[in-house]
Chain A
Amino acid sequence: MANVTITDVVKNYGSLEVLHGVSASVADGEFVVLVGPSGCGKSTLLRMIAGLESISDGEIEIGDRVVNDLEPKERDIAMVFQSYALYPHMTVRANMAFSLKLARRSKEEIDQMVNRAAEILDLSALLDRYPRQLSGGQRQRVAMGRAIVRNPAVFLFDEPLSNLDAKLRVQMRGEIKALHQRLGATMIYVTHDQMEAMTMGDRIVVMRAGVIEQMGTPLEIYDTPANSFVASFIGSPSMNLIDGIVQNRDGASVLETPDGTTWPLPANARVTAGAAVQLGIRPEHIHLDPAGLVAEPVIIEPTGADTHVQMRVGQQVLTGVFRDRPDIALGDTFHVRPDTSRAHLFDKASGQRL
């Protein structure tokens, strides 16, 4: 086990800079998730930690060692790839034993370590099969087994669940989390799925366009997003962002949208009249209230436990999540009230939280 420190890391491909001085730290035994949309640089950063990509500038430390110029094998890391990258010409056992054989461990030692990892991951019955004879979930477990046998200081996961179906993904999510708890190892996990990030990470690093937008625990990021990007990226369905200008009405600040609809602002909002802002309201913080704003349903999506409703309020299209099955039908209107005490405000120009 080891901590990982990333300091001002830059990555250039010729004249194109894809990581712009990224700094982050991962504590010993921590499970950190790098999350962001495609092309944000999260996989590149992970590959730089692994040693598969060179570091244009900055420093990466694993444990007490700067690893910038070390080969992947010298970094004491293991990586699970999105495509699993199981050697197709080797059995499960040979795949798992490959690194140990290269390290010239004794046969008894190799057998013992492979059997132990297979036991942890419930792979004992599959050891003599080839990767092509395994299901997606089993391949995923073998890929993890290959990482475990090496007993590395840091585990790196590059979108390992992307190729699985939704049900298996949820199952494997739990298995990886359980594995982390069992091994207590440092793990860095890359995903574009904010749900995976929220449910798995001790801490989340949200990235966009080669910079880190926010770092924090899942609930910190969910409850107090640093900017409108993080606010809309984390959470499903996404946070509603309503553009408008702050106005003073009867001594209270309200948001007036271009269509003339006024929205109450949080009581503690530090805004001045005339400021262009975005009001952020999570879908679950929009409540049904006969005294509220008039809303017209656009799409109604019952999920069983909840009902997701896309609605038009004035010219704004918002999403609301309501428990159970509210009495809303297309063609009718209903009334909603945003919970302003839990609303968020962002500067329109910079996107930063106010």
Chain B
Amino acid sequence: MAVVERTVGTKNTVTKRRKSRLGAGEGRTAFFFLLPSLIGVTLFLVVPIIASVVLSFTNWKLLGQPQFVGFANYIRLFTADPQFWPVVRNTLFFTFEYLVLNIVISLGLAVWISSLKRGQRWFRVIFFLPTFTPGIAVAIVWMLIFAPDGFFDFIMRSLAIHIPSVLTDQNLAMQAVIVVSLWAGVGYNTVLFNAALDMVPANYLEAARIDGASAWDRFWKIRLPLISPTLFFGTVMTAITSLQVFDQIYVMTRGGPGTATATLGYSIFQKGFQNFQMGYASAIAWVMFAMIMVLTAFQFWLQRKWVHYDN
């Protein structure tokens, strides 16, 4: 028995050795084939990420030599910078309101489109158009609409509604940014959710009709749970992009009035490219990264309670 085992063992070793020799050869070939993309990833992803981590511990001011300052940037951020907490609050406020409205509106539109007997394709295209329209261009047009004495003010005056100029009002400015973001961002989720709704097998809905489910029941108890994986994907991606909001704010309000619309994304730009505090801006970027990670992790934890995967 022992002899047999030893023989088998020797055979296995030989086979493994032959395999690993073959594997090493194949590995080298694979490595050379992958090299172009590996160089790209390293140069444009890995190095900048590492550099930004390193920068966040320096006082680099774009010109001159960076000096290591330890956690000074982070300490200043959390304890001394009077703008930081309002900026975090603004970012979370924007994210929450935009996320909720985006999901509700896009889901509503998706359901409406899927209920249409004709013209579904046209409406999908119409609602998707803003998604591939440049964000800066969209924001400029909306800024002109919301500008003092702009088109929005003209409409309000015509309707005899007296409201302050939107972009200069402490409360309304953020709402204007959210409206513009929704206009630009709802189409993507609408098409995503509409596709998911159309993929729900008709049999489930027919079975539910026979079981006595009303259209309302069918939506909440059958269709929504069945598209929950897509809904989850849309929610996570929308949350991530909304925490990074920048374009609309840069064009429309520059973070103002005061700091009413300053978000983390805008703050990074301001500190880095207006005040030339690259180290400090990098620290804010990593705080934003941490916030995105925490929120995403929270969403993944939460999905166990509401997302249903068939497999």
Contacts from A to B (Cβ < 8 Å)? 50-52, 71-73, 77-79, 81, 83, 85, 87-89, 98-99, 102-103, 132, 146, 150
Given A85-B203, A85-B204, also A78-B210 (CB < 8 A): yes
Partner-contacting stretch, out of B93-101, B211-219, B264-272? B211-219
Given A98-B211, A99-B211, also A85-B206 (CB < 8 A): yes
- Do B212 and A50 touch across chains, with their CB atoms under 8 A apart? no
Determine whether B222 belongs to the interface, using a CB cutoff of 8 Å to chain A: yes
Given A81-B206, A132-B310, also A89-B225 (CB < 8 A): yes
Q: How far is the CA of A71 from the CA of B208 in the complex (A)?
A: 12
Determine whether B226 belongs to the interface, using a CB cutoff of 8 Å to chain A: yes
Determine whether B76 belongs to the interface, using a CB cutoff of 8 Å to chain A: no
- CB-based nearest A residue for B228: A89
Q: How far is the CA of A89 from the CA of B221 in the complex (A)?
A: 9
Given A89-B225, A89-B308, A132-B311, also A73-B211 (CB < 8 A): yes
- Do B213 and A102 touch across chains, with their CB atoms under 8 A apart? yes
- Do B308 and A88 touch across chains, with their CB atoms under 8 A apart? yes
Given A83-B203, A85-B201, A89-B225, also A73-B210 (CB < 8 A): yes
* Residues on A with beta carbons closer than 8 Å to the beta carbon of B308: 88-89
- Do B310 and A77 touch across chains, with their CB atoms under 8 A apart? no
Determine whether B293 belongs to the interface, using a CB cutoff of 8 Å to chain A: no
Determine whether B11 belongs to the interface, using a CB cutoff of 8 Å to chain A: no
Q: How far is the CA of A83 from the CA of B206 in the complex (A)?
A: 12
Given A88-B310, A132-B311, also A83-B201 (CB < 8 A): yes
The 7 closest A-B pairs by CB, nearest first: A89-B308, A99-B211, A73-B212, A85-B203, A85-B207, A89-B225, A102-B212
Q: How far is the CA of A79 from the CA of B217 in the complex (A)?
A: 19
- CB-based nearest A residue for B205: A85
Given A83-B201, A85-B201, A89-B225, also A77-B211 (CB < 8 A): no
Determine whether B209 belongs to the interface, using a CB cutoff of 8 Å to chain A: yes
Q: Which of A51, A73, A87, A102 contacts B204 (CB 8 A)?
A: A87
- Output the least CB separation between A57 and chain B (Å): 22
* Residues on A with beta carbons closer than 8 Å to the beta carbon of B213: 73, 98, 102
* Residues on A with beta carbons closer than 8 Å to the beta carbon of B222: 87
- CB-based nearest B residue for A52: B206
Q: Which of A72, A103, A146 contacts B209 (CB 8 A)?
A: A72
- CB-based nearest B residue for A74: B212
Q: How far is the CA of A299 from the CA of B239 in the complex (A)?
A: 68
Q: How far is the CA of A102 from the CA of B221 in the complex (A)?
A: 11
- Output the least CB separation between A155 and chain B (Å): 11
Given A85-B201, A102-B212, also A79-B207 (CB < 8 A): yes
- Output the least CB separation between A161 and chain B (Å): 16
Q: How far is the CA of A103 from the CA of B221 in the complex (A)?
A: 14
Q: How far is the CA of A83 from the CA of B226 in the complex (A)?
A: 16
- Do B210 and A89 touch across chains, with their CB atoms under 8 A apart? no
- Do A99 and B212 touch across chains, with their CB atoms under 8 A apart? yes
- Do A102 and B203 touch across chains, with their CB atoms under 8 A apart? no
* Residues on A with beta carbons closer than 8 Å to the beta carbon of B203: 81, 83, 85
- Do A50 and B211 touch across chains, with their CB atoms under 8 A apart? no
- Do A52 and B201 touch across chains, with their CB atoms under 8 A apart? no
- CB-based nearest A residue for B217: A102
Given A85-B203, A85-B207, also A103-B310 (CB < 8 A): no
- CB-based nearest B residue for A149: B211
The digit string for B219-252, where 1 denotes a CB below 8 A from any CB of A, is 0011001101000000000000000000000000
- Output the least CB separation between B205 and chain A (Å): 9
The digit string for B105-141, where 1 denotes a CB below 8 A from any CB of A, is 0000000000000000000000000000000000000
- Output the least CB separation between B215 and chain A (Å): 11
* Residues on B with beta carbons closer than 8 Å to the beta carbon of A85: 201, 203-204, 206-207
Q: Which of B207, B212, B226, B310 contacts A81 (CB 8 A)?
A: B207
* Residues on A with beta carbons closer than 8 Å to the beta carbon of B310: 88-89, 132
- Output the least CB separation between A310 and chain B (Å): 40
- Do B206 and A73 touch across chains, with their CB atoms under 8 A apart? no
Q: Using A72-B210, A87-B204, A132-B311 as known contacts, list a sample of 19 further A-B pairs with CB atoms less than 8 Å apart, ordered by residue number in A.
A: A50-B206, A51-B209, A73-B210, A73-B212, A73-B213, A78-B210, A81-B203, A83-B201, A83-B203, A85-B201, A85-B207, A88-B310, A89-B225, A89-B310, A98-B213, A99-B210, A102-B213, A103-B212, A150-B211
